[in-house]
Structure 1
Amino acid sequence: MRRSRPAALLVFALAGFGMVGGPPATAAPAGVDVVVNARAGLETVSPTALGVNHAVWDTELGTPAVADLLKNAGVRAMRYPGGSYSDIYHWRDNTAPGGYVAPNTDFDHFMAGVRRAGGQPVVTANYGTGTPQEAADWVRYANVEKGYGVRYWEIGNENYGNGHYGSAWEADDHPDKSPAQYATLVRDYAQAMKAVDPSIKIGAVLTTPGEWPDGITAEGDAGPWNQVVLSIAGPVVDFAIVHWYPAGASGPEVLPKTDRVADQVQLLRRQMRQYANKDLGIAMTELNTSYGRNTQPGALFAADSYATLMANGVFNIDWWNVHNGIAETSTIAGQPDYNDFGLLSSGGCTTDGSVCEPAVNTPFAPYHALSMLSTFAGPGDQLVPAEVTDPLVKVHAARRTDGGLSVLLANEDPDNTKAVTLGYTGYTPSTTAQVLTYGNGNTAITTGSGSARSVTLAPYSLTTLVLRPTAQTTLPPTPARPLATDVTDRAATITWPTPPPGSGSLKYELHRQVGTTTQQWGETTGQSFRVTNLQPATQYTVNLVARDTAGRLSWASPPLTFQTATPATSTCTVGFAKTTDWGNGYVASVDITNDTDHPVGPWELTFTWPRAWQRLDSGWNATWSQVGDTVHVVGETALAAGATWNVGFVGAYSGPDVTPVAFRLNGTLCAT
């Protein structure tokens, strides 16, 4: 969205906050078990994963002080020129008609800061009030004339917010504001920009699954925004752009919402393959929270969301933003919060002067979370599965390129200490670990030493354990990501590329991820394996592990996730289709066909919601009910042989809408 700061920044002193909350908890810490499975593998951290946003209305943009702070935090990507300003900003004369542009915020000043920080730029070309030629000229200036090597270029910012779906915050001078017009012009932008520098990567704006206006089809459109944009522009772009600001008025409302990330990413990838016929990279170029932006909830959310996004292969994640400005003030967990989107203080006061932020560039809590993240996992490190027994403790783990293993723990309980016991599969750590902690109200990360097997987490704290192996050894090369082909309801063929020359004699083990354990499905010296006896309509995640003649095991490959089909034939067939979707609910039509040679009655159709944020609101042409997460549809009349009965319902959702695929008629799984 368009989030602009005050035109002027004022320097002021901290004032007006009282301490709240009771004394520290005195009860014995709650026991928590953590298990890390280093034998399995998630995604590898991209060099541009840890990013932030810059904005041309920020007087501190590109200054040495800010660049050094970002470098010290390990920030590796910086986005410019700033959210919705991107669609009014003209780079050549550093102007944004209708908005405020601070002095010394032009592109060259931005790049000076990027270079000082050792980061990579992510630049948003002006779609709303610009032209493909203006964008191509920017590429020429950046990469041909100046040699800046800007690799990632977005076309516009949140362009679905141009009024086409009702809400209008994004500038768009085009008479046609449809997704088809946006996608058509994205093709023109990509062609013009790549004609200057074919090596650049072009990103198109998509909606985040489960967030407005995802799923909505406006009048005259061929489908929702993502479907239309991917169908037209997908073949010529290289990555997708999404933003996420999860809503909530408290820690318990906001912090658990990172459980939506995996579905967001999976649905985006499914849409890409369906409508663009290829995989695209995913960049979340704006991210922030709605609660505790400057205090510990913001730090906890930043650490958990970045780590979760990296584990799911998002290659660029940019916090909104470096500086923003004071808004409504409050006290959260005993600490002053200014509802400021910035990582660093802007040094301003409320309009009445009663409350002021700390001195300009003072880091807020999320800044320290990003610093913690850069220690936890860097470019090339591979995240691995980890599980925890306490829902208020979040855990992430990463195998490091230097042979180490790191574990990131977030205690999201504001009141209680947690005593954590850690276990490891596929990794034997040395007895001691480096321990980094960032607690509620701290102004820096503390580094010490401790046990690799146990740690005590303070309330509302972040902790990272950096472990070393008991013995260092040379491992076989990590296999490439496998592919699934010939997938049926009961079987799939898993294939992978041949190893690089000089790898020696290798045998490949195929493992299924099951939480923090693995099930070995088989092994082979070849490059394919046929898996059988699978369950229909079931999602599987697998890794390859290479074993050499000495018995040494490689790191796990990047993961492959695939879903088996429903039976090709059954005694019943179900057709499911959404007829209307309004962004947090929809009307669905369901056709139930009796494929037997005799009537079925009484009959009951059942299906289970894939996610807890989905529910049944109402239904017709049958008796509808929901018990737990299972929907029951009871027929009012017998279903004749070969007959089809249509029923319908209203479903509601408050996160990524994962469509149910397993429908059972009187207990029998139907074809779909």
Structure 2
Amino acid sequence: MKRSLLLLLAGITFNSYAQKTATVTLSNDSKDTISRHIYGQFAEHLGRGIYGGFWVDKSLPVQKQDRIRLDVVNALKKIKIPNLRWPGGCFADEYHWRDGIGPRDKRPKMVNTNWGGVVEDNSFGTHEFLQLCDLLGTAPYVSANVGSGTVEEMSKWVEYLNFDGASPLTRERAVNGHAKPYNVEFFGVGNESWGCGGNMTPEYYAGEYRRYSTYARNYPNAKLKKIASGANAGDYNWTEVLMKNIGARNMWGVSLHYYTLPTNNWSKKGPATGFGEKEYFATLKNSLKMEELVEKHSAIMDKYDPKKRVALVVDEWGVWTDVEPGTNPGFLYQQNSLRDALVAGTTLNIFNNHCDRVKMAELAQCVNVLQALILTDKEKMILTPTYHVFDMYKAHQDAQYLPFKLNSPDYEVDGEKIPAVNVSASKDKAGKVHITLVNLDAKNSISVSAELKGIVWKAVKGQVLTSPGVSDVNTFVKPSVISPKLFSNIKKDGDKLVVNMPAKSIVALELN
């Protein structure tokens, strides 16, 4: 009996060990590029995203250019954000661009009916946004008003932005301080036209897109990359209708919006902090749906666009929880935990691995709103765990995608299972290979054995992002609870790379 029990226990130990091992086989034969624009950001007139985030009161004791907060700018420059989407979101389809130009003390005020019913003073408008983009060294992505605006209004905004010639609008632009055109490329024709952007049917929106986009002119110095307002999550019919009725030649991209909720209940989404493993697991499971959405929307696009000329633009994604207690529910302010970082790392891996179709994406949102990179409180500023993920992943921008095969153990909670490990890899222009790995298992470390076919390497260095608890956060009192650390639990085993990943961690490796 004792011998049998020992053998049984040995078998349990062996099986448990086997479940904690993952294998990756990496190839060096891809021609696809991971577009830097996958790492884009979103700044809407919502809560303290613009006002109190990027654009602050003159009296605030921080470094500023005009009223643009420079510590925020410098933090975003460090992670090389490639684009910034503005002015919304739902706000875009009630925004009239002329209200945001000219002398600020003469700009009309409006009510932000979508987000908190606050008064918008329009002090942050076209010129201020493009000044911000210039300071960031990033590409502007402008979302135009289809829901409540006119074709003429949109057409004149494009002329104001991009025409390099003599016209009443270009003279007005010069009077307002910018004689030269801005040469904006990325241009969204409406936003969430199935909902807050007009509650349209896909057939109706497809017709509106064709009409509006006709008058969003290309100028010789600035050809627009027009992005159609695409589907809400799993509305595959919307994508089908747009691809069929608009056509691949008439748009640069089509958008997709998907938010990860801890629950599946929009009225009670779940808290951003203080959750347990059950809520943690449910959030991760919901975030992994992004893979299915990208694959199924891409398959529909492939029917009409087999050459993949149209980009899938996931221009709103991220974790959406209940707001922090005591804050304005219309401001969508939430804390940012290790769980959010793991969702971000997983989602970026998914986008990287579908870079043949996903050419652009924007996290919602950049500062103080939803899954923010940065949180501010008056003169204080902290970097969230999600910010650090974008910092660790920035080496993938415009690098050659490296395909792989992954065999992952499961992470199981209450009888439900998800893959514990996900990965993406690339090779940069200097020939360095970058691998980003995520271990979603909240309790178990996992040994990852990677076979690197056709890749010669001699040395490896790494970073890891983790924390004792999945709900741990950075605060204004303790801003560095979660930040990247040097990672050394890696070794070369013959031709293989062996990585011993801690539980609930993100690891970024560079091979030379």
Deviation at residue 262 of structure 1 after TM alignment: 4.5
2-structure distance, mates of 1:395, 1:269: 20
Q: Please name the residue that 1:267 is paired with.
A: 296
1:439 and 2:431 correspond: no
Query: Does 2:442 correspond to 1:402?
Result: no
Q: Secondary structure at the match of 1:199?
A: coil
Match for residue 98 of structure 1? Answer: 111
Stretch moving more, 440-449 or 291-300: 440-449
> After the TM superposition, which of the residue ranges 379-388 and 113-122 deviates more from structure 2?
379-388
3-state SS of paired residue (1:93): helix
Correspondence for 1:179: 202
1:424 paired to 2:443:
no
Q: How far 1:273 sits from its partner (Å)?
A: 4.8
Q: Following the alignment from structure 1 to structure 2, what is the Cα–Cα distance between the partners of residues 365 and 437? A: 12
CA contact (8 A) 1:408 1:462 kept: yes
Is residue 457 of structure 1 aligned with residue 487 of structure 2? no
Q: Which residue of 2 aligns with 1:49?
A: 38
- Going from structure 1 to structure 2, the CA distance change for 1:422 and 1:295 (only over 3 Å counts) comes to same
Q: 1:286 corresponds to which residue?
A: 316
Change (3 A) 1:82 1:404: same
Q: Determine the C-alpha separation between the residues in 1 that align with 2:306 and 2:445.
A: 49
Q: Which residue of the partner structure matches residue 123 of structure 1? A: 142
Q: Residue 227 of structure 2 aligns with which residue?
A: 203
Instruction: Tell me how far 1:50 sits from its aligned partner.
Output: 0.6
- Mark the CA change 1:56 to 1:36 in structure 2 (over 3 Å): closer, same or farther: same
Residues 490-639 of structure 1: matches in 2 within 5 Å? none
Contact 1:56 1:105 in 2 (8 A): no
Larger Rg, first or second structure (1 or 2): 1
The correspondence of residues 209-228 of structure 1 with structure 2, limited to 5 A, is 210=234, 214-215=235-236, 224-228=237-241
Question: Closer, same or farther in 2 for the Cα pair 1:323/1:302, shift >3 Å?
Answer: same
Equivalent in the alignment of 1:361: 381
- Rounded to whole Å, the distance in 2 between the matches of 1:93 and 1:443 is 41
2:388 is matched by which residue type in structure 1? H
- The counterpart of 1:114, out of the listed 125, 133, 138, is 133
Residue in structure 2 matched with residue 76 of structure 1 by the alignment: 82
Mapped to 1, the partners of 2:316 and 2:347 lie a distance apart of 12
Q: 2:399·2:426 contact (CA, 8 Å) conserved in 1?
A: no
1:294-334 CA-partner distances (Å, limit 9, x unpaired): 10111111111112112212111111001245xxxxxxxxx
Partners of 2:307 and 2:452 lie apart in 1 by 36
| Paired letter, 2:345 | A
The higher relative CO (CA closer than 8 Å, separation ≥ 6) is in 2
Q: Give me the whole-angstrom Cα distance separating, in 1, the residues matched to 2:422 and 2:124.
A: 38
> How far off its partner does 1:159 sit?
0.9
Q: Which among 315, 327, 331 is matched to residue 359 of structure 2?
A: 315
One-letter identity of the residue aligned with 1:190? S
Q: CA RMSD in A?
A: 2.9
Kindly state the Cα deviation for residue 434 of structure 1 after the two structures are TM-superposed. 1.4
- Gap runs ≥5 in structure 1: 1-26, 162-169, 216-223, 326-339, 349-358, 469-672
Are the structure 2 counterparts of residues 401 and 96 from structure 1 closer, same or farther at C-alpha, using a change threshold of 3 Å? farther
**Match of 2:259, as an amino acid?**
Y
- Superposed, which structure 2 residues align to 1:633-652 within 5 Å? none
Q: For the Cα contact (< 8 Å) 1:414–1:460, is it kept in 2? A: yes
Q: Using the alignment, how far apart are the partners of 2:295 and 2:99 within structure 1?
A: 41
Higher helix proportion (structure 1 or 2): 2
Q: Deviations over 1:261-318 (max 9, x none)?
A: 4443343334335457874111100001246961011111111111211221211111
Quote how far apart the aligned CAs of 1:87 are. Answer: 0.6
- What is the one-letter code of the residue matched to 1:63? R
Q: Secondary structure at the match of 1:410?
A: strand
- 2:262 is matched with 248
8 Å contact 2:99–2:122 — kept in the other structure? Answer: no
**What is the aligned counterpart of 2:377 among 347, 362, 370?**
347
What is the deviation of 1:123? 0.9
Residues 352-391 of structure 1: pairs in structure 2 closer than 5 A: 360-375=380-395, 377-390=396-409, 391=419
Contact kept? 2:434, 2:508, Cα under 8 Å: yes
Amino acid at match of 1:84: C
Letter aligned with residue 229 of structure 1:
L
CA shift for structure 1 position 97 = 4.0
* CA distance, structure 2, for counterparts of residue 466 and residue 254 of structure 1: 29
Matches within 5 A, 1:467-506: 467-468=511-512
Give the aligned residue type for 2:340: G
Structure 1 pair 179–121 and aligned structure 2 pair: CA distance change class (3 A): same
- Counterpart of 2:71 in structure 1 is 65
Q: Deviations over 1:474-527 (max 9, x none)?
A: xxxxxxxxxxxxxxxxxxxxxxxxxxxxxxxxxxxxxxxxxxxxxxxxxxxxxx
Could you tell me which residue of structure 1 aligns to residue 243 of structure 2?
Answer: 230
CA, structure 1 residues 262+29, in 2 after alignment: closer, same or farther (shift >3 Å)? Answer: closer
CA distance in 2, matches of 1:188, 1:254: 40
Distance 1:178 1:455, change over 3 A: closer
Deviation at 1:84, TM superposition (A): 0.5
Give the TM-score of the pair, scaled to structure 1: 0.54
Identity percentage of aligned residues = 22
Q: Secondary structure at the residue paired with 2:99?
A: coil
5+ residue gaps, structure 2, are: 1-15, 55-67, 101-107, 113-118, 164-169, 171-179, 264-278, 322-333, 410-418, 473-480
Structure 1 CA distance, aligned partners of 2:154 and 2:123? 21
Match of 2:183 in 1: 149
Give the Cα–Cα distance (whole angstroms) in 2 for the partners of residues 443 and 228 of structure 1.
Answer: 44
Judged with a 3 Å threshold, the aligned counterparts in structure 2 of structure 1 residues 181 and 38 are, in CA distance, closer, same or farther, namely same
Secondary structure class of the residue paired with 1:92: helix
CA gap 1:196/1:263 in 2 versus in 1, 3 angstroms = same
Change in 2 beyond 3 A, CA 1:278/1:324: same
For 1:422 and 1:203, the matched residues in 2 are separated by 38
- TM-score normalised to the size of structure 2? 0.70
Letter in 2 for 1:131: T
Return the alpha-carbon distance in structure 1 between the equivalents of residues 434 and 307 of structure 2. Answer: 33
Kindly report structure 1 stretches of 4+ aligned residues shifted beyond 6 Å. Answer: 27-30
Amino acid corresponding to residue 251 of structure 1 in structure 2: Y
Paired residues of 1:42 and 1:311 also in contact (CA < 8 A):
no
Whole-Å Cα distance in 2 between the matches of residues 242 and 96 of structure 1?
31
- Counterpart amino acid of 1:148? Y
What is the alpha-carbon distance in structure 2 between the residues aligned to residue 303 and residue 342 of structure 1?
14
Distance 1:415 1:266, change over 3 A: closer
